[in-house]
Amino acid sequence: MFIRLSGTNHILGHRLRVKNFPKPTRQIHIPYLIIGGGISGLSAARQFRKRGISDFLVLELENHLGGNSSNGENQYSKFPLGAHYLPLPNFHDKTLLKFLEEEKIILGYNAKGFPEFDEAQLTFTPQERLFYKNEWQEGLVPKYGNSNADENEFQVFFAKMDYFRETKGADGNYLFDIPLMNSSKDAQTLKLDNITMKQWLDENQLTSKSLIAYVDYCCRDDFGLGIDFVSAWAGIHYFAGRKHNVTSDRKENVLTWPEGNARLAMHLKKYSEGKTLKNHLAYEVKTAGNKTVVHAFDDRKKESVEIIADKVILATPQFVNQYLLENRMQIGREFQYAPWLLATLTVSDLTDNYSYPLSWDNVIHGSKGLGYIYDQHQSVQQVQPKKVITYYYSFSSSDIRKSRRTLYRQKKDYWKQMVFDDLKKAHPDIEEKTEEISIHLLGHGMISPVPGFLFGVAKKEAAKNIENKIFFAHSDLAGISIFEEAFHQGINVVNAILDGTTLDS
Ligand SMILES: Cc1cc2nc3c(=O)[nH]c(=O)nc-3n(C[C@H](O)[C@H](O)[C@H](O)COP(=O)(O)OP(=O)(O)OC[C@H]3O[C@@H](n4cnc5c(N)ncnc54)[C@H](O)[C@@H]3O)c2cc1C
């Protein structure tokens, strides 16, 4: 079996701590510089173009754009190296609907005014299955095998989530919305950010093991941290932020592609074509007079470059910004990121007990990982010579830093075995059937909204521009790591620069 190990360029990134870079030998002058080519940076580039501005550059440390929305590819399929789907957006998010329309993901609008999504980009059925009590069943919420008490608790839980989804605060905003900054500032609801999701479940006498395992899975899936560590406001937002109101039948569905959200990154990339410096690590950002001076290391030529810009957008996470800017360590420390591990397996066959067929998303109830995506699911080719699946694992613990050290210390054989041991619960012969495994490590995968963070001081401070010259846009400033947040961060920051408006995180 062939094992491959990859990850974000943490070796180059870690040089930010020692900053042993050569002195700059060249200069570039540019009005606008975007540092970071993830979704937020690419969205900012798109917004510049939409506003008629093309004299900008995008600086990216990796040899490709996309950040957490990047992908890999083998001879059988493309596969995600991070984000893999976009749930159907809220109907009132017209900016996102417009983007989806431009990219022919929305093909038009029906007589009732609802968008018509391209069927080929919506998950094909069967969409989700759950391995629960030794059987696969449809959906991720267990329908069979629960006691009556479990059933009751699921009903109570979902009724509460419906309330949170539909209700608006006195300020007229939904209690929970996307982007998060549009949510109501209702004081009672904000208090939910002070407790963990587990505490909220306890307070509401929700103790069913089956329900707890399900909610824990959802939190680990969206935030990298489980119910014991994640804020209740964030946990509820997972269920209540999406209104399921963009189609007339209010069906929950997602948009997905074999390469995951790298498809969306690809659509955004065209706006910065010919304006990108890849393999460039920004290592210092300072204001000087009426300009901003950025020092970056060109990892290909092994030389440094000085970029002088009028305005700089840091579309980089705060754990990076703390090394680029002076006096940012305190703020940086408040941002916690859950490490992630992805493993893409090429298997000759995926034997299971076929109680429910292989689906796009396949989750094993109560397992350590988050299950796997069948990467070829959206292919119209029914019979595949080999199957390609991507397994997801987030390191949910009270000591994220320790998890990160473990992530990088352990060898690839260790991770391979962990993946197999987890998948064996549903696929006992997975190890013999696997021909190739690519393990992808993300040390700072995802911002984790621990209690007190979402509406705390650090997040607000981190979003404030510096002397009207250095601006910020990254999904971690929202506190929730999803495409929509990064997309809107990029748009809002450009509007703030060009219109002089202030940003609210
Ligand atoms: C495992 C995983 C699964 C996910 N799944 C989903 C999903 O299914 N759906 C979803 O909506 N979201 C998902 N997400 C969230 C995802 O992070 C966001 O959707 C989005 O891609 C974040 O974009 P961003 O621009 O905010 O950040 P990033 O992707 O972090 O982009 C930042 C960019 O800055 C670059 N950079 C960093 N430091 C420097 C420097 N010093 N110099 C130059 N460049 C630098 C980085 O290389 C990167 O390209 C997932 C995240 C992870 C980790």
pLDDT, tens only, 146-169: 999 999 999 999 999 999 999 999
| Average pLDDT of the segment spanning 241-253 | 89
At position 496, the amino acid (one-letter code) is: A
Mean pLDDT of 38-67: 97
Kindly state whether residue 474 falls inside one of the protein's structural domains.
Answer: yes
pLDDT at residue 380, rounded to an integer: 81
Average pLDDT over residues 434-441: 95
Residue with CA nearest ligand 1 atom 52? 82
Atom of ligand 1 nearest to the CA of 394: 1
Domain-located, residue 389:
no
Predicted confidence at residue 504, as pLDDT, reads: 55
Q: Are 489 and 474 in contact (CB under 8 A)?
A: yes
- The answer on pLDDT for 502 being more than 80 is no
> Among all chains, which residue has been given the structure tokens 């999504």?
117
Residue 50 in this model has a pLDDT that exceeds 80: yes
Closest Cα to atom 4 of ligand 1: 83
Instruction: Look at residue 151 in the predicted model and tell me its pLDDT.
Output: 96
**Residue 372: inside a domain, yes or no?**
no
Distance CA 146, CA 135 (A): 13
Q: Average pLDDT for residues 456-473, to the nearest whole number?
A: 96
- For ligand 1, atom 53, the nearest C-alpha belongs to 445
Q: What is the reported pLDDT for 1?
A: 67
Q: How far apart are CA 278 and CA 22, in angstroms?
A: 18
Average pLDDT over residues 317-344: 95
Q: Report d(CA 253, CA 86) in Å as an integer.
A: 9
- Residue 397 Cα to ligand 1 middle (Å): 21
Let me know if residue 100 belongs to a domain.
Answer: no
- The stretch 300-306 carries a mean pLDDT of 97
Residue 71, SS3 per DSSP: strand
Q: Is residue 271 part of a domain?
A: yes
Q: How many folded domains does the chain comprise?
A: 1
Ligand 1: nearest atom to the Cα of 484? 11
* CATH number assigned to the domain comprising residue 318: 3.50.50.60
- Report the distance separating Cα 234 and Cα 222, nearest Å: 9
Q: Is residue 440 part of a domain?
A: no
Looking at residue 4, its pLDDT comes to 76
Stretch 131-153: mean pLDDT, rounded? 93
What's the pLDDT tens digit per position in 176-235? 999 999 999 999 999 999 999 999 999 999 999 999 999 999 999 999 999 999 999 999
Residue nearest to atom 35 of ligand 1 (CA): 36
- For residue 438, report the distance from its CA to the centre of ligand 1, in Å: 19
% of the chain surpassing 70 pLDDT? 99
* pLDDT higher than threshold 60 for residue 417: yes
C-beta atoms surrounding 135 within 10 Å: 15
Tens of pLDDT, residue by residue over 59-97, are: 999 999 999 999 999 999 999 999 999 999 999 999 999
- Residues 186 and 240 sit within 8 Å (Cβ to Cβ): no
Longest CA pairwise span in the chain (Å):
71
Mutate to test the pocket of ligand 1, among 9, 47, 61, 68 (most ligand atoms within 8 A of CB): 68
Probe residue for ligand 1, chosen from 481, 488, 505 as the CB with the greatest number of ligand atoms within 8 Å: 481
State pLDDT tens for residues 264-281: 999 999 999 999 999 999
Q: Which amino acid is at 173?
A: N
Q: Whose CA is nearest to atom 1 of ligand 1?
A: 82
Locate the ligand 1 atom nearest the alpha carbon of residue 265 and give its number: 21
Atom of ligand 1 nearest to the CA of 85: 8
pLDDT at 505 over 70: no
The atom number, within ligand 1, closest to the CA of 486 reads 26
Nearest to 494 by CA among 458, 457, 465, 467: 465
- Residue 382 has what pLDDT? 76
Percentage helix, strand, coil for the chain under 3-state DSSP, each rounded to 5: 35, 25, 40
Q: What is the pLDDT of residue 503?
A: 62
Radius of gyration (C-alpha) of the chain in whole angstroms: 22
The residue among 414, 468, 481 whose CA lies nearest residue 441 is 414
Q: Can you give the residue range of the structural domain that contains 274?
A: 8-67+260-335+450-499
Task: Please write the tens of the pLDDT for every residue from 352-385.
Answer: 777 899 999 999 998 899 999 999 999 888 788 8
Distance 451 CA to ligand 1 centre (A): 22
| Average of per-residue pLDDT values in the chain | 94
Residue ranges lining ligand 1, Cβ < 6 Å: 35-41, 59-62, 67-69, 82-86, 261, 281-282, 315-317, 320, 340, 442, 445-446, 474-475, 481-483, 486
Quote the DSSP letter at residue 96: H
Interval between CA 481 and ligand 1 midpoint (Å): 8
* Cβ proximity of 446 and 394 under 8 Å: yes
pLDDT value at residue 178 = 98
Which of 86, 7, 8, 26 is CA-nearest to residue 317?
8
The whole-angstrom separation of Cα 368 and Cα 415 is 13
Checking if the pLDDT of 141 tops 70, the result is yes
Domain contains 393: no
Mean predicted confidence (pLDDT) in 303-309: 98
Examine residue 307 and state whether it is found in any structural domain, yes or no: yes
Contacts of 6 (CB under 8 A, 6+ apart): 72, 81, 438, 439, 440, 441
